[in-house]
DNA sequence: CTTTTGGTAGTACGACTGTACTATCAAAAG
DNA sequence: CTTTTGATAGTACAGTCGTACTACCAAAAG
């Protein structure tokens, strides 16, 4: 066996190069050649570690989704102990906003993928496309828990609130991406609406 | 002068062919050849009436935006006389949902364009990209008017409500497109949230 | 009639794309 | 040492794209 090469690391390097391109120039600018150049390798290397462009794209998106997911979980864990429903919900929803380069790239690439998946069944069947469904179920449970604990009005339709909030968060994220509102404004609007549903227990903000 | 040919009609025919393709196969499937074939013309004809693909795309999107805009205005006019703020707001927001083929195509194509515009300044400079801003201002005014008329709580932040509702509407539209929620569910959720902000005056639904 | 000209079709070209293929290099195995 | 083999590079090919170009046709103008 000749040179040592950590396949996992190489694949990560290439995936990150792809995401840099997708984040700065769009998903349509992602080609075997552009990714290879960005990663500092030849096209053959990209071919060697990913047998096709489709496999590469899928891996890169899962790679990104996993990193974002980890960030959300970290935010939830850091939401205080014990975490109130309000803090958990807020952590999940605000994490979806494109506030920094990574979440911006995630939003952009994920939306581009979503648009493609509408007319491409193969993409729609990908596992990460069901993430919003899980988020919705999670938020619904959180709101119901808050209602049980008396932290939220009992007459709320938890499912409708969760779905609406998630849609609002996604829509605000897109608006931020388009430059129609700033990330700060989007955050404030999200907190405003959150306050009308699951009021914050008391005083201090983190 | 030989044959007569209504340029406006030809351009409309071609634009509609483009939108059919974009709506069924995605914006990436829009090529000079596919549009020409769909319209039943040769590529040369498409070239003849649109000097470039970019011009064609822009015209088609404006064509679609105008039709949707007309539908929104028609819905607003049909919202009763005199139209209550609630009915007007509801008409605008629900029209944005992809409930039929035309609005579905509009949502899909518009979102695809929006994604592209993030990394393409030339697209971002297009006039129809400012439509959401106008909608936001319009909705804000409507909510303020409702507050003045005592139809909505005075302590609402009209701007935050308008921006949030618009984002929610857009997000729900995307969810419908992705098949995560049905159009009926999205409508119900939108009405539910509308009811918490600008309650419906009384009884009967249209 | 002939001439002009708006409209249509076919074709060709250069630039890209994904990918298959071959060659090369260096380190481990014998 | 020689042989093997994981890793990298270069090249070639078939396909698609937008678009320029030429040719052709038929109706109006002279």
Which residues on B lie below 8 Å from A93 (Cβ)? Answer: none
Whether A62 has its CB under 8 Å from any CB of chain B: the answer is no
pLDDT digits (tens, 9 = 90+) for B76-133: 888 777 788 899 999 999 988 999 998 999 999 999 999 999 999 989 998 888 889 9
Contact between A180 and B132 using a beta-carbon 8 Å cutoff:
yes
CA distance A59 to A16: 11
Which residues on B lie below 8 Å from A28 (Cβ)? Answer: 28, 116
**pLDDT of B7 higher than 90:** yes
Residue A202: phi, psi to the nearest 5? -155, 170
pTM: 0.92
Residue that the structure tokens 């096709």 belong to: A52
Residues of chain B within CATH 1.10.357.10 domain(s) are 61-199
Q: Are B27 and B19 in contact (CB under 8 A)?
A: no
Mean pLDDT of chain B, nearest integer: 92
Q: How far is CA B115 from CA A69, A136, A177, B110, B132, in A?
A: 22, 24, 9, 9, 15
Other CB atoms within 10 A of residue A62 CB: 14
pLDDT digits (tens, 9 = 90+) for B63-78: 999 998 899 889 888 8
Contact between B115 and A115 using a beta-carbon 8 Å cutoff:
yes
**Alpha helices for A120-177 (secondary structure H):** 121-124, 131-148, 158-177
- Closest-approach nucleotide to residue B33, Cα vs C1': D17
Contact residues for A174 (Cβ-Cβ < 8 A; gap 6+): A107, A111, B114, B167, B170, B171
Mean pLDDT of A73-83: 83
Whether B29 has its CB under 8 Å from any CB of chain A: the answer is yes
Residue A127: the pLDDT is 86
Give the mutation candidate from B57, B115, B125, B176 for the A interface (greatest A CB count, under 10 A): B115
In angstroms, how far is D16 C1' from B61 CA?
A: 24
Contact between B189 and A117 using a beta-carbon 8 Å cutoff:
no
Contact between B163 and A178 using a beta-carbon 8 Å cutoff:
no
Residue B194: the pLDDT is 94
**pLDDT of A206 higher than 60:** no
In angstroms, how far is D6 C1' from B23 CA?
A: 47
Q: Which residue of A has its CA nearest to B189?
A: A160
pLDDT digits (tens, 9 = 90+) for A138-171: 999 999 999 999 999 999 999 999 999 999 999 9
Whether A45 has its CB under 8 Å from any CB of chain B: the answer is no
Residue B198: the pLDDT is 85
Contact between A29 and B177 using a beta-carbon 8 Å cutoff:
no
Residue nearest D4, CA–C1′ metric: A1
Asked if omega into B65 is within 30° of 0 (cis), the reply is: no
Residue A1: the pLDDT is 62
Residue A204: the pLDDT is 46
Other CB atoms within 10 A of residue B155 CB: 6
Superfamily of domain B1-51: Homeodomain-like (1.10.10.60)
**pLDDT of A205 higher than 90:** no
Q: Are B22 and B108 in contact (CB under 8 A)?
A: yes
B206 falls in which pLDDT band (50, 70, 90)?
Answer: very low
**pLDDT of A52 higher than 60:** yes
CA distance A33 to A73: 35
pLDDT digits (tens, 9 = 90+) for B27-59: 999 999 999 999 999 999 999 999 999 999 999
DSSP state, residue A28:
G
Residue B196: the pLDDT is 84
The size of chain A, in residues, is 206
User: Which of left, alpha, beta for B17 (phi over 0: left; psi -120 to 50: alpha)?
Assistant: alpha
Q: Which residue has the higher pLDDT, A8 or A196?
A: A8
Q: What tokens does A46 get?
A: 């990209």
Residue B144: the pLDDT is 95
Give me the architecture of the B61-199 domain, per CATH.
Orthogonal Bundle (1.10)
In terms of average pLDDT, the best of B80-94, B132-146, B190-204 is B132-146
A202 falls in which pLDDT band (50, 70, 90)?
Answer: low
Mean pLDDT of chain A, nearest integer: 92
Q: What tokens does B50 get?
A: 């649109």
Residue A167: the pLDDT is 98
Which residue from A171, A182, A168, A206 is spatially nearest to A77, judged by alpha carbons? A206
Whether B103 has its CB under 8 Å from any CB of chain A: the answer is no
Residue B76: the pLDDT is 87
DSSP state, residue A8:
H
Residue B202: the pLDDT is 59
CA distance A61 to A46: 16
Residues of chain A within CATH 1.10.10.60 domain(s) are 1-51
CA distance A158 to A11: 41
Residue nearest D29, CA–C1′ metric: B1
Percent above pLDDT 70 for chain A: 96
- Residue of A157, A170, A193 with shortest CB distance to B164: A193
Q: Are B93 and B166 in contact (CB under 8 A)?
A: yes
Which residues on A lie below 8 Å from B136 (Cβ)? Answer: 180
In angstroms, how far is D18 C1' from B14 CA?
A: 17
């Amino acid at each position: 066996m000749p040179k040592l090469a950590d396949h996992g690391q190489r694949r990560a390097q290439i995936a990150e190069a792809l995401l840099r391109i997708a984040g700065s120039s769009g998903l349509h600018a992602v080609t075997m050649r552009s990714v290879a150049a960005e990663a500092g390798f030849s096209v053959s290397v990209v071919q060697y570690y990913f047998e096709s462009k489709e496999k590469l794209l899928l891996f890169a998106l899962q790679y990104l989704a996993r990193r974002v997911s980890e960030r959300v979980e970290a935010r939830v864990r850091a939401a205080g102990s014990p975490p109130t429903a309000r803090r958990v919900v807020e952590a999940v929803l605000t994490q979806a906003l494109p506030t920094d380069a990574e979440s911006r790239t995630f939003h952009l690439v994920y939306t581009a993928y979503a648009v493609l998946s509408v007319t491409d069944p193969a993409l729609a069947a990908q596992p990460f496309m069901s993430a919003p469904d899980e988020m919705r179920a999670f938020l619904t449970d959180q709101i119901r828990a808050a209602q049980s604990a008396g932290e939220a009005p009992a007459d709320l339709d938890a499912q409708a609130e969760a779905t609406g909030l998630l849609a609002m968060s996604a829509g605000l994220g897109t608006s931020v991406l388009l430059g129609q509102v700033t990330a700060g404004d989007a955050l404030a609007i999200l907190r405003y609406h959150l306050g009308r549903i699951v009021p914050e227990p008391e005083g201090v903000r983190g």
